[in-house]
Chain A
Amino acid sequence: MSINQEVELLRRIPLFAKIDPAKLRLLAFASERISYQAGDELFHQGDPADAAYIIMDGNVDVTVDIPSGRLTVAKLGRDEIVGDIGIICDVPRTATVTADDPTVVLRITKELFFQMINDFPAMGVEIMRVLAQRLEHTNAALRSCRQKLDAAGLH
């Protein structure tokens, strides 16, 4: 897979959809493409956050450590971005991400990520929008959770 193919893949991702293809080429060129075998960890909960990952192929499991073991909180697949919270908020990894099957990702380092946002404000706005959507999604989930709890009379 060459850079040009990567650029095509990137354009399908909402976060990058509105960005000039030439800039995406630069992003792809400056990023590292990494292949994981099933079971390989992308990163572990508590690790320092140094990069975000765009899944170009395959699926990953997002798990958190709980006293009784591990809890899968999400499954992410192609075109999705993972690990962005850690680098934006500058906090250690809040979850462990493991490849579910052979997975290919584009690894964007923290420096590159912020450099791109600095150089191309449009990308920053786009990220803001995606994050806001995610927050809205979380809020909705929380609301439905509360309703269910209320309904069960546990609240």
Chain B
Amino acid sequence: MVPRAGGPEDPGRTGDEAVEPNLFKYIWRHSRPEQLAILAIVVVSQVFYFLSLDLPKTIVNEAIQGEAFQAEGGQSLAFEPAGEDLGPGKPTAPFLRIVVTAPDFMKGVVGDGPIMIFEGIPLTQIPYLVALSLLFFLLVVINGLFKLQINTQKGRMGERMLRRLRFELFDRVLRFPQLQFRKVKQAEIATMIKDEVEPLGGFIGDAFVQPAFLGGQALTALLFIVTQSVWLGAITVAILGLQGFIIPKLRVKVLQLGKQRQLTARQLAGRIAECVDGSADIHVHDTSNYERAEIAARLARIFDIRFELYQRKFAIKFLNNMLAQLTPFFFYLVGGYLAITGRMDIGGLVAVIAAYKDLPGPVKELIDWDQQRQDVQIKYEQVIDQFQPEGMLPPEMQPIDAPDGKLEGPLVLANVTLADEGGARLIENLAARLAPGEQVAVLGGPGSGREAVALVLARLLEPVAGHIAIGPHNLFELPESVTGRRISYAGADPYLFPTSVRENLIYGLKHRPVKPPLYEGDALRLHEAALREARRSGNPEFDIAADWIDYESAGAADGQALEARLVELLQTVELDEDVYQFGLRGAIDPEMRPELAKAVVEARADLSRRLADPAFAALVEPFDPERYNKNLSVSENLLFGTSRDPALSPENIMDNAEVQRAVERVGLADDILDMGRQIAETMVELFADLPPGHPFFEQFSFIGAEDLPEFRALLAQIGKSGFGALNAAQRAKLMKLAFPYIEARHRLGLIDEAMEQRLCEARKRFAGELTESLRARIEFYDRERYSAAASLQDNILFGRLVYGQAQAAAKVGRLVAEVLDQHHMRPAVLAVGLDFQVGIAGKRLTAAQRQKIGLGRALVKNPQLLVLNEAINLLDNQAQLRLVDRVREASKGRGLLWVLHRADLARKFDRVLVLKDGRLAEEGPPAELERRGSAFAELANAV
């Protein structure tokens, strides 16, 4: 039984199709409790902020000027010092006395006078000052902590919202209709999710807190002014009103420009990505200047937009400032007039002007906030606009808690009509039936619409009319958790992820976490915290560290069985030999796979015995610590080891000061120097007549054309005064020539028997002259040890192929394969080969290899219906014939629908559907159709 689409409601994804168009509503919906909590903290913090503003006055007036110590003390709101004479000479003031004056309506109950809550601690002047100052310091710390807390809360909330928004957008990308991907550029989508929503995160924290806070401040100041003078209050309100009216009007244009800025920047990102993707064509067709012009034109447009934006922004700022300064102008004029005519007292005027000082700050920030609000609202709208294409999959089609089910019954296509995104008809009124387990080929010439049939069955295309059913279910109403597991599809150009061959093969098994990882102790706590955080941001609670592989549908009990299944699959798609070669060329970490490393060393001993056979003896020169190896470079002979570190390659190793010293210490400096001189002489002689830039330099010379004159001068200098006159840099330069020299390959005859002996002797002492840390980076040749720096093949060979022996690689390769088979190591080598990294989009593989992996990926989950769309058309003819048989065999008893480009392959199928101009021309067993004049015969004979 297949459950209908629709799993339990999933918190990470909005059920309704449209994204909330209003950013504020979106923020409020998802962060209400957090926003309220921060507002509460802000309110509480204001009390302490006010206290810290008030306290300095008390310190100055009462502690320093000593008002508190006179008989009639000054007044302070919270700290009520009143001079008290506690003894002869030294007056004291009460510290921290708290007095509350009851409000009028309470006076009947508690009496008229102030109520003393805390008497306070009597202190003399200096201790009083110290106490007040410490209190001030304490308030500073408290205020700072409040600020820290508020900012942290705001930041966390903003980041959570950003995470939620990004996830939601990505979630929508996964549900885009397939045709949408032909319209959108991936770089633009990536820019939107990555960059364009980023400023939203910063704003979200301030979305509600900032206006509440600033508005409160501004309102208080305004209230104060109004209480002092209604006239002045009216002026203030009027000018603020003017500001509030004019500025947003002016901003309309700015906002439009902001919109344009965002769009043009996004398109620029898209265009740059296009140029990167199309770089080959740009070079081939010499269109780089066209592209330069194109991008320059875009940059010019962006410049214009940005500059105009800039100008307008500052014009608005100017106007804003003017209006803000207009108010004091009126205060002086009107307030002054009122004061002179005696309708207002001077103290009031001064207080109003003082209060007004506190007004422009918050008002300006409020205006800024408003600008930012509109900015992010636009950004938000522009982004979400791109993420709600028509025909998006409803979330229920990709349920999180996935229902699973078998697909039973025949596949029935009833009057199916298919069209491309332009509306052109690809298939008209197709009616067909595929019995369970039937294997059918679909044929048709170009324009017959054959590919569309495969696409619609893989649900990559939706029919414009008609109905497709599997058993009782409408194919397009089944959730992906059913179709993605029971139906497989492979096209001609499968996408490979930039991971290993293995990961690409099993990609189609990762539907949901099958086995959660085991967490204990701290790891468990961290994991639970991560889960809580994910919930708060509306992200799913999946664990990427879990085991996601659906072993069951691969027909494997565990990882080991799956490995065997993969090997079997490699044989089915004829990729086993390629993967075996990847394995031989691959390297392993002997500490991670000690058994394989041990087996390799054993196979090495066996191979070494087989290589003694005269038929092979001339093909490989084994690594022998007692003998100079003519097929290794001088530096490899000296080190008698290799390194994976490119800094220690034969070309670069002489740059290492430590190696230079070691060469001197083992007494080889003169020999190497002389070798370098001979190479330099030969190169100067051979290449002297060639013009710089001649291809020979690149291909054969030890010395680049530009360095040739320098070496010529160097040789002349040696000729005159010997090696003694050379400086360190010149010596290093000459010695560097000798290190990559391989006697068997370069054949300059530089290394005679005596030299071989000297180099062998030096080799024994050389490693001892290197420091521990350098030695650790080198894998020394050791017959008994596996070398992590070399490939499996080189490890087994433990020697170098001799240069210039015809077909040595092939002959030795066959021998190595034989030995590996005898040691039963083939599966282990294949396992290493499966780790081969395929590169970006599988570019390290051939197109045929990519198709084979795509086919393997489709087969591994044992689908009930396998849909193949010209999936192996890049393989050679014979391989295609073999693979059709193998795939038919591998999917025996299950449905197979194969859209073929070669009609002769269709002869192997039970039944053939032949399409012509989007209609079913004929169907039936191929043998029956193969008569003169049939559409099938027409196609088959055209091959």
User: Which residues of A pack against B, CB within 8 Å?
Assistant: 1-4, 6, 22, 25-26, 28-30, 32-37, 40, 42, 99, 111, 115, 119
Contacts and interface: CB of A to CB of B under 8 A. Distances in A.
Contacts, number: 51
B695 interface: yes
A13 B599 CA distance: 52
A2 B748 contact: yes
A115 B685 contact: no
B805 interface: yes
Contacts of B933: none
Interface in B676-705: 682, 685-687, 690, 695-696, 699-700
A68 B699 CA distance: 44
B807 A40 contact: yes
B518 interface: no
B696 A40 contact: no
Given A29-B686, A29-B700, A115-B695, A35 B747 contact: no
Contacts of B687: 26
Question: Which 7 A-B pairs rank lowest in CB-CB distance, beginning with the nearest?
Answer: A2-B749, A36-B806, A33-B804, A34-B804, A26-B686, A30-B700, A40-B806
B615 interface: yes
Contact of A32 (B618, B685, B686, B804): B804
B747 A3 contact: yes
Interface string B654-694: 00000000000000000000000000001001110010000
A1 B743 CA distance: 10
B803 to A, nearest CB: 8
Interface string B326-338: 0000000000000
Interface of B: 615, 618, 682, 685-687, 690, 695-696, 699-700, 746-749, 803-807
23 contacts: A1-B747, A2-B747, A2-B748, A3-B748, A3-B749, A6-B747, A22-B686, A26-B687, A28-B747, A29-B700, A29-B748, A30-B700, A32-B803, A33-B747, A33-B803, A33-B804, A34-B804, A35-B618, A35-B805, A36-B806, A37-B615, A40-B806, A115-B695
A22 B686 CA distance: 7
A42 B804 CA distance: 12
B804 A26 contact: no
Contacts of A35: 618, 804-806
The winner among B682, B803, B806, B807 for most chain A CB atoms within 10 A is: B806
Contacts of A28: 747
Nearest to B700: A30
B95 to A, nearest CB: 98
B685 A22 contact: yes
A13 to B, nearest CB: 18
A34 B805 contact: yes
Contacts of A36: 806
A72 B749 CA distance: 38
A22 B682 CA distance: 10
A30 B696 contact: yes
Contacts of A4: 749
A30 B699 contact: yes
Contacts of B806: 34-37, 40, 42, 99
Contacts of B747: 1-3, 6, 28-29, 33
Contacts of A119: 690
Contacts of B746: 29
A115 B700 CA distance: 13
Contacts of A33: 747, 803-804
B705 to A, nearest CB: 14
A26 B696 CA distance: 9
A25 B749 contact: no
B902 to A, nearest CB: 25
Contacts of A37: 615, 618, 806
Nearest to A28: B747
A26 B685 CA distance: 9
A99 B803 CA distance: 18
Contacts of B807: 40
Given A32-B803, A35-B805, A40-B807, 9 more contacts: A2-B747, A2-B749, A3-B747, A3-B748, A25-B685, A29-B686, A30-B699, A35-B618, A37-B618
A47 B747 CA distance: 29
Nearest to A32: B804
B104 to A, nearest CB: 107
A102 B606 CA distance: 27
B536 to A, nearest CB: 65
A4 B750 CA distance: 11
A119 B747 CA distance: 23
Contacts of A29: 682, 686, 700, 746-748
A28 B806 CA distance: 18
B690 to A, nearest CB: 7
Most A-side CB within 10 Å, residue of B686, B690, B699, B700: B686
B805 A25 contact: no
Contacts of A99: 806
A42 B748 CA distance: 25
Q: Which of A3, A26, A40, A115 has the most CB of B within 10 A?
A: A26
Nearest to A27: B686
Contact of A115 (B615, B696, B749, B804): B696
Contacts of A32: 803-804
A40 B618 CA distance: 14
A99 B807 CA distance: 13
A116 to B, nearest CB: 10
A40 B806 CA distance: 8
Contacts of B682: 25, 29
B696 to A, nearest CB: 6
Nearest to B807: A40
A150 B13 CA distance: 95
A3 B618 CA distance: 20
A37 B483 CA distance: 59
Contacts of A42: 806
A134 B807 CA distance: 31
Contacts of B690: 119
Contacts of B804: 32-35
Nearest to B688: A22
